[in-house]
């Protein structure tokens, strides 16, 4: 992609004022960090932070057959949603490979919001339009919405000062609230492993809602958080990144997303392939921790009993684990119970511990 | 930090953002600009005392939360000292890149990379930034 195609976020000037370092991501000039990644990470784990994730795609499917039509495109059961409920799902190709992972919000019986990855937005919209059937309209409104993720143990206090009723939202539910003549969607979802919300706001009210969030969180030390810390936060919480931990060459069963594949609610694209694979899933996603000095990065080979058996798909530092280095990657299924492995870093083999569970889970509230 | 503290005038610089200080041996580190670009530095890999390094060749690695970067030797020579404190606490490279965050000392055997004077490095960095 040429530089001229890199676009600025609607709230760009606020990021500049906050001293952001920018990098191109998914066609946008995105704030990577404002202070340091580690400091921003700890702000979200212990207080509250705001991410401008307006690069994410907002695709609306509207029409009387919206629910049934979308249900044939994704692995989870959209049919179980009531108005104001959301679910996480994969969208697969005929081979069961993941085209994208997304959150689907049921706004009304005839209106779904699909929040898709920024880098996948255009392929997703084309994919959906090519395959969707029934009385529906697929409308890509990504350019008309900003999205602010307010995340951290103090996030709901901040949100409550803006929209008192939003405190009653349960996880994976959403509601509309009036804000200066606009309708905003507030959803209790996120990508950090912390409590919090994602606020979908029309571009016309972007400045006002951003300033209102910052003001509501001022006493709690609210701060802008860049994509750098978003990556360390999601990695600790074992939240997968599309394009790294999953691609069209990965199935949800391999990626540990079997829980979003509902075989018993009718046909969907990829169902036959996934049913066949269910008998013997070739590889499994695992969490790795480097038990030596160094930093894990994606594509580093994973070694078991002297043989390269897979590779890391993500890696980095875990500030919540005393800056240990952790990663995600795949092991062949016959090695799924291994608790130790090795990683090859620049020709040297270093010890890894292996586990199924995330390295970070927030304390129950 | 003043400009003089960002690019000390008594040092020379490489295009890969290492600095060197001449003395009985040559002390090498990474510049303020380098640590600023890398962000939180979390890991440093250095040669051992007695290892030979070659001007322009790699002699180690620094890793930050987000990325990693090779270290390039500004001169050829023998490593006479390694900053173990920086290996133990890589954040020294962020907090004191020209002081406690130095990396190695080298006994030169002849052979140098193309080095920049402070004012050249300053304009080099500002061009990179544009």
Percent helix, strand, coil in chain A (nearest 5)? 30, 35, 35
A360 found inside a domain: no
Nearest to B43 among A37, A231, A294 (CB): A294
CATH of the domain at A323: 2.40.30.110
**pLDDT tens digits for range A312-330:** 999 999 999 999 999 999 9
Residues present in chain B in total: 130
Q: For residue B26, what are the domain limits?
A: 3-112
A194 found inside a domain: yes
A106 C-beta neighbours (distance < 10 Å), count = 24
Mutating which of B42, B45, B60, B61 best tests the A interface, going by the most A Cβ atoms within 10 A?
B42
A261 found inside a domain: no
Chain A: residues touching B (Cβ < 8 Å): 32-33, 36-38, 228, 231-232, 293-295, 297, 316-317, 319, 323, 325, 346
CATH of the domain at A67: 3.30.70.1400
**CA A302, A307, A308, A310 torsion-angle sign:** negative
B56 found inside a domain: yes
**pLDDT tens digits for range A183-200:** 999 999 999 999 999 999
Is A149 found in the same domain as A50?
yes
B122 found inside a domain: no
CATH of the domain at B46: 2.40.50.100
Q: Please compute the mean of the pLDDT values over residues A23-32 and round it to a whole number.
A: 96
Q: Please compute the mean of the pLDDT values over residues B13-39 and round it to a whole number.
A: 96
Q: Which residues of A touch B45 (CB under 8 A)?
A: 294
**pLDDT tens digits for range A329-338:** 999 999 999 9
User: A317, B61: Cβ pair inside 8 Å?
Assistant: no
Nearest to B66 among A228, A323, A346 (CB): A228
User: B42, A228: Cβ pair inside 8 Å?
Assistant: no
Across the beta sheet with A111-116, what order do the strands follow?
A85-92, A98-108, A111-116, A57-62, A137-140
A207 found inside a domain: yes
Is A62 found in the same domain as A198?
no
Nearest to A37 among B40, B43, B63 (CB): B40
A264 found inside a domain: no
Is A319 found in the same domain as A170?
no
CA dihedral A6, A7, A9, A10 (to 10 degrees): 170
A265 found inside a domain: no
Is A224 found in the same domain as A159?
yes
pLDDT at A64: 98
**pLDDT tens digits for range A74-120:** 999 999 999 999 999 999 999 999 999 999 999 999 999 999 999 99
Residue B64 near residue B93, CB atoms below 8 Å: no
User: What contacts A59, CB < 8 A, 6 or more positions away?
Assistant: A113, A114, A115, A116, A121, A124, A125, A128, A138, A139, A140, A141, A142
User: B39, A228: Cβ pair inside 8 Å?
Assistant: yes
Residues 57-86 of B with CB under 8 A from A: 61, 63, 65-66, 68
pLDDT at B3: 66
**pLDDT tens digits for range B58-115:** 999 999 998 889 999 999 999 999 999 999 999 999 999 999 999 999 999 999 999 9
Dist CA A149 CA A168 (whole Å): 17
Q: To which H or E segment does residue B52 belong?
A: strand B52-53
- Average pLDDT of chain A to the nearest whole number: 97
Is A219 found in the same domain as A195?
yes
A192 found inside a domain: yes
Is A216 found in the same domain as A314?
no
Residue B54 near residue B76, CB atoms below 8 Å: yes
Is A21 found in the same domain as A65?
no
CATH of the domain at A19: 3.30.1360.120
User: Domain count of chain A?
Assistant: 3
- β-bridge mates for residue A185, sequence order: A176, A200
ipTM, two decimals, is: 0.80
pLDDT at B128: 75
The answer on pLDDT for A2 being more than 90 is: no
- Single out the residue in A101, A129, A157 at which a domain terminates: A129
User: A295, B43: Cβ pair inside 8 Å?
Assistant: yes
Q: For residue A339, what are the domain limits?
A: 282-355
The answer on pLDDT for A342 being more than 80 is: yes
Q: Please compute the mean of the pLDDT values over residues A266-287 and round it to a whole number.
A: 97
User: B40, A32: Cβ pair inside 8 Å?
Assistant: no
B124 found inside a domain: no
User: Domain count of chain B?
Assistant: 1
């Amino acid at each position: 992609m040429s530089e001229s195609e890199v676009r600025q976020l609607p709230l760009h000037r606020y990021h500049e004022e906050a001293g952001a370092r920018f990098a191109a991501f998914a066609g946008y000039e995105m704030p990577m960090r404002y202070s340091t990644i580690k400091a921003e990470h700890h702000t979200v784990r212990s207080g509250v932070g705001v991410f401008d994730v307006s690069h994410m795609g907002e695709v609306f499917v509207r029409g009387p057959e919206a629910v049934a039509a979308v249900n044939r495109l994704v692995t989870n059961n959209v049919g179980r949603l009531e108005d104001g409920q959301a679910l996480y799902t994969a969208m697969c190709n005929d081979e069961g490979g993941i085209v994208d992972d997304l959150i689907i919000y049921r706004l009304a019986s005839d209106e779904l919001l699909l929040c898709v990855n920024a880098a996948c937005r255009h392929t997703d919209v084309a994919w959906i339009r090519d395959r969707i059937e029934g009385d529906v309209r697929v409308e890509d409104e990504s350019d008309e919405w900003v999205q602010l993720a307010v995340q951290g143990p103090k996030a709901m206090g901040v949100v409550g000062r803006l929209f008192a009723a939003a405190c009653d939202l349960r996880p994976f539910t959403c509601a509309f609230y009036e804000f200066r003549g606009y309708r905003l969607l507030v959803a209790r979802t996120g990508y950090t492993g912390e409590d919090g919300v994602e606020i979908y706001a029309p571009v016309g009210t972007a400045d006002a809602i951003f300033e209102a969030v910052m003001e509501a969180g001022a006493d709690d030390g609210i701060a802008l958080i860049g994509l750098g810390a978003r990556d360390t936060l999601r990695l600790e919480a074992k939240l997968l990144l599309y394009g790294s931990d999953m691609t069209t060459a990965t199935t949800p069963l391999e990626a540990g997303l079997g829980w979003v594949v509902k075989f018993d609610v009718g046909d969907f694209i990829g169902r036959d392939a996934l049913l066949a694979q269910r008998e013997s899933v070739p590889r499994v996603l695992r969490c790795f921790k480097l038990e030596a000095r160094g930093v894990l990065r994606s594509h580093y080979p994973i070694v078991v009993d002297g043989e390269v058996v897979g590779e890391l798909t993500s890696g980095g530092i875990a500030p919540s684990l005393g800056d240990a280095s952790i990663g995600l990657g795949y092991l062949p299924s016959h090695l799924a119970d291994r608790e130790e492995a090795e990683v090859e870093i620049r020709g040297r083999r270093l010890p890894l511990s292996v586990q199924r569970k995330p390295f970070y889970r927030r304390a129950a509230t | 930090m003043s400009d003089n503290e960002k690019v000390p005038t008594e040092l020379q610089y490489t295009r890969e953002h290492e600095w060197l200080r001449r003395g009985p041996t040559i002390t090498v580190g990474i510049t303020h600009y380098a640590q600023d670009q890398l962000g939180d530095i979390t890991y440093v890999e250095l040669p051992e005392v007695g290892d030979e390094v070659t001007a322009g060749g790699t002699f180690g690695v620094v890793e930050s939360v987000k990325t990693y970067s090779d270290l390039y030797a500004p001169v050829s020579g023998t490593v006479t000292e390694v900053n173990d404190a920086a290996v133990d606490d890589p954040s020294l490279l962020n907090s004191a890149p020209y002081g406690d965050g130095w990396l190695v000392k080298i006994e030169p055997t002849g052979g140098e990379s193309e080095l920049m004077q402070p004012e050249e490095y300053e304009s080099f960095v500002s061009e990179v930034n544009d």
